[in-house]
A and B are shown apart, each in its own frame.
Chain A
């Protein structure tokens, strides 16, 4: 794989990354940038554990190629809190106790924050649809729905 220099923006900061164009964004985040909050779950974009925001839209970082990132602004879970203030969705997940092992939490919170940007007062059905790509084996679905409802208030 030919190594090329790519300029990408993550959490508001510019980075120069030298790697093959097909390198998954997840590897870049976790191995090159030290941002390990996006978790490896399946490598096929089927579990949601690695989801990050690209220009505000949730995308699986494991199937997003470095060469396809382009000028899109990437936000990872590490970049969601602003100025030391937790994002309302982060706060709501804490207040509802909507996590167990925490492996799916990063992706779920980012997807929920994207939903609330688009739809500030989603119905329960919309919340389920938006979070459906996020698997949780510990089973916090009911609590996570409540957390998103709390954050939307």
Chain B
């Protein structure tokens, strides 16, 4: 636990400020955090001001990922607020001469009884700020009070009026524009550039070449771009990778071969998930002002402290002389784990001694940003005569994930749940590439292995890391097993799922979607899939239509999700709906075109994503957790079951078992032809 003053400040004027190192780029933290603090302090959320990611002010944080902002940081804020409440009540008790049991706290005033004499927060903190170590067992308000629901946070008005300041909107006195060369093949070595030609271009202030890094700084962006082209670089392909494979064994029960071979039914299937791009609407952007004694940086960053430390290294400054200034940023989905443009801006700014803004183009973004690893998974399953799974094998090849930004070495303030314990590379790989490779079912004898091989293209984090690809294979295969067993897919899952909360979510989505009354076939299909992601349970049913030879349409989605106490129901629904839409896009449409390490996409025409025309008619979201269970993450979990749910629905609609993404008309035709 942290100290209360690192997390929460109640000023002499009664203003309440909550502090967190997390960044909000669409998840709704600026709406959710005030509610958490308000719930514990008995005030309106509008009274709580939030500071996110300002490295001079907020406590150190490893980064915004893993759906941990509410689960971990939100819990820290809740504990800090509960601690502050106890201090306020104790002070009021002393000053009012009343036992704490008789005091009530409401709207920023501690009173003796509902209408008795009271002291405001301002009066209670006057001259004596609340400080101290928050104990692990701090008493939280029970039951967790809930603020009235609202669509968005107080700051949302800035986005509908255009007032919100994004990173790309930063304008500093004397600011220049920079552009940096990017090779078409990731990791290529820079052999030669024409510095003189670039220097001679209009508006150029500097040409910076350091090893494989080459950039230009100019008065205007178009001038910088023209000078960059004048550099006429010669690239040498990257050294041939040694192809080092990291093997991760996640489960290896004895007797797997016998269990598979000796069963009544033995099924095998191979699944493939291609590289896809994060493809944020706003490409990477950053501004840096590196001076002799300090530096300021603005950037698309999931890890403000990681970026701060990286800039400190570039600027040869101690980290506390580098100031990360948070601004709004385009959604990232994992992409902002690598603050590429901000790092480039820092290198250029250091060279010219003036502030520099670097704005990546769409082409830069598609060519240079990290992509989701591929997955090639071979599954085997065995059923006994009663249709129960008695053997399971998952053997997959994939590529390294990674959080991108240089993670601070050494101890973390408080290790979030998925990161607890010893931290060796194999465990890390299991946590990232192997996320959800272990199904939430009773499988009998099981063997689960991953082989992590380098990818041709740059790879990195994308919403849920390995979970979405792994679960596409697992939950598609569960459907195949259910059909082989002649069982209803939801009944089949319930029969093998032991977790009561997952079972509850499955039953809820079954009932809300009217599952048992739905008939698949003749171009219309219903499919189901589920996951336990971290501690969040998700079950989804989708309805698709599959016109002969035409594109598959996602018609409706039902989602039951147990993420414990829901802090901000409307915001949480927004996250779930968005997750469904994004995952539907990559399931039905997306595949990164690439050849020999070169990404062959430069515009949205080359990498289409879902539009308004593709959006489902309705997304039904039900929260099935209860308020006594601590809040868990829900930004990532609902993306995970969408692909297999759609694949299973397509099978229901037309009998095509599509085992690769994206599920386009060609993939359906191919699967129909393979059907024997």
Q: Which residues of A contact B (CB under 8 A)?
A: 23, 27, 30-31, 34-44, 46-47, 49, 76-78, 80-81, 86, 90, 93-97, 99-106, 109, 127-129, 131-145
- What CA separation (Å) do A74 and B336 show in the bound complex? 33
Assess the A128–B615 pair: CB atoms within 8 A.
yes
* B106 close to A (CB within 8 Å): no
Output the least CB separation between B206 and chain A (Å): 20
Given contacts A101-B26, A101-B281, A139 and B603 within 8 Å (CB-CB): no
The answer to whether B159 and A96 touch across the interface, beta carbons within 8 angstroms, is no
B279: interface (CB < 8 Å): yes
Q: Which residues of A contact B28 (CB under 8 A)?
A: 100
B498 adjacent to chain A (CB < 8 Å): no
A-chain residues with CB within 8 Å of residue B157 when the two chains form the complex: 86, 94
Among B116-124, B229-237, B414-422, B604-612, the one that faces the other chain is B604-612
In contact, B612 and A78 (Cβ under 8 angstroms): no
A89 to chain B, nearest CB (A): 8
Q: Which residues of A contact B152 (CB under 8 A)?
A: 94, 97, 99
Which listed residue (A38, A90, A133, A135) contacts B161, Cβ 8 A?
A90
Q: Which residues of A contact B37 (CB under 8 A)?
A: none
Known contacts A40-B283, A140-B577, then 12 further A-B pairs from the complex at CB < 8 Å, ordered by chain A residue: A37-B162, A46-B603, A46-B604, A76-B162, A86-B160, A93-B160, A100-B575, A102-B26, A129-B613, A135-B611, A137-B280, A137-B582
Show 22 A/B contacts (Cβ-Cβ < 8 Å), sorted by A. Answer: A23-B222, A30-B169, A31-B220, A35-B162, A36-B166, A37-B162, A41-B362, A47-B604, A76-B162, A97-B156, A99-B152, A100-B574, A101-B330, A103-B166, A103-B281, A129-B612, A134-B612, A137-B281, A137-B331, A140-B574, A140-B577, A141-B615
Q: Which 5 A-B pairs have the closest CB atoms?
A: A37-B162, A139-B581, A97-B151, A102-B159, A100-B26
Cβ-defined contact, A109 with B281, below 8 A = no
Residues of B at the A interface (CB closer than 8 Å) are: 25-28, 151-152, 156-166, 168-169, 171, 220-222, 279-283, 328-331, 333, 359, 361-362, 570-571, 574-575, 577-582, 585, 603-605, 609-616, 618-619
A76 and B160 alpha carbons, distance in the complex (Å): 11
* Nearest B-chain residue to A146, judged by Cβ: B618
Contacts of A81 in B (CB 8 A): 161
Q: Give chain A residues whose Cβ lies under 8 Å from the Cβ of B281.
A: 39, 41, 47, 49, 101, 103-104, 135-137
Docked pose: A42 CA to B570 CA in angstroms: 31
Q: Give the docked Cα–Cα distance between A133 and B281 (Å).
A: 13
A49, A102, A134, A144 interface centre (most CB from chain B within 10 Å): A102
How many contacting A-B pairs (Cβ < 8 A)?
171
Whether B611 contacts A139 by the Cβ 8 Å rule is no
State in angstroms the CA–CA spacing of A40 and B221 once bound together.
13
Q: Are A36 and B362 in contact (CB under 8 A)?
A: no
A40 x B168 contact (CB < 8 A): yes
Contact between chains at B333 and A137 (CB < 8 Å): yes
CA distance A94 to B330 in the complex (A): 18
| B361 in contact with A137 (CB, 8 Å) | no
Given A78-B161, A142-B618, decide whether A40 and B581 contact each other with a Cβ distance below 8 A.
Answer: no
Considering the chains assembled together, what is the distance between the CA atoms of A80 and B164 in angstroms? 15
Shortest A46–chain B CB gap in Å is 4
Q: What are the residues of chain A within 8 A of B605 when measuring CB–CB?
A: 44, 46
Give chain A's interface secondary structure class.
Answer: loop
| B581 and A100 within 8 A (CB) | no
Question: Given B163, B222, B582, B611, which contacts A138 in the complex, CB threshold below 8 Å?
Answer: B582
Residues of A within 8 A of B613 (CB): 128-129, 132
Q: What residues of B have a CB within 8 angstroms of the CB of A139 in the complex?
A: 577-582, 585, 610
Residues on A with C-beta less than 8 A from B329 are 101
Give Cα A78 to B152, complex, Å.
Answer: 20
A90–B579 CA distance with the chains assembled, in angstroms: 24
What residues on B are CB-neighbors of A37 within 8 Å?
161-163
- Give every chain A residue within 8 A of B577 (Cβ-Cβ): 139-140, 142-143
Residue contact A43 to B361, C-beta cutoff 8 Å = yes
Given contacts A41-B281, A137-B331, A142-B581, contact A101 B25 (CB under 8 A): yes
B362: nearest residue on chain A (CB-CB)?
Answer: A42
Residue from B168, B169, B330 with most neighbouring chain A CB atoms (10 Å): B330
Q: What's the Cα separation between A44 and B28 when bound, in Å?
A: 30
Q: How far is the CA of A34 from the CA of B452 in the complex (A)?
A: 48
A82 vs chain B, min Cβ distance (A): 12
Q: Which residues from A are CB-within-8-Å of B582? A: 137-139
Alpha-carbon distance A135/B361, docked complex (angstroms): 16
CA distance A110 to B619 in the complex (A): 25
Chain A nearest Cβ from B46, distance in angstroms: 14
Residue from B282, B574, B614, B619 within 8 A of A41 (CB atoms): B282
Residues of A within 8 A of B578 (CB): 100, 138-140
B169→A36 contact, CB < 8 A: yes
Name which residue of chain B comes closest to A133, CB basis. Answer: B611
> When the two chains form the complex, which single residue of B168, B603, B616 contacts A142, counting CB atoms closer than 8 Å?
B616
A44 touches B151 (CB 8 A): no
Does A100 contact B331, Cβ atoms closer than 8 Å?
yes
Residues of B with C-beta under 8 A to A41: 281-283, 362
Specify the chain A residue showing the minimal Cβ separation from B202.
A1
Bound Cα distance from A2 to B222, whole angstroms: 14
Contact partners of B163 in chain A: CB under 8 A: 37, 78
| Chain A neighbourhood of B161, CB < 8 A | 37, 77-78, 80-81, 86, 90
Task: Take A39-B168, A76-B162 as given contacts and tell me if A44 and B362 are in contact as well, using a CB distance cutoff of 8 Å.
Answer: yes
**In the bound complex, CA of A27 to CA of B359 (Å):** 13
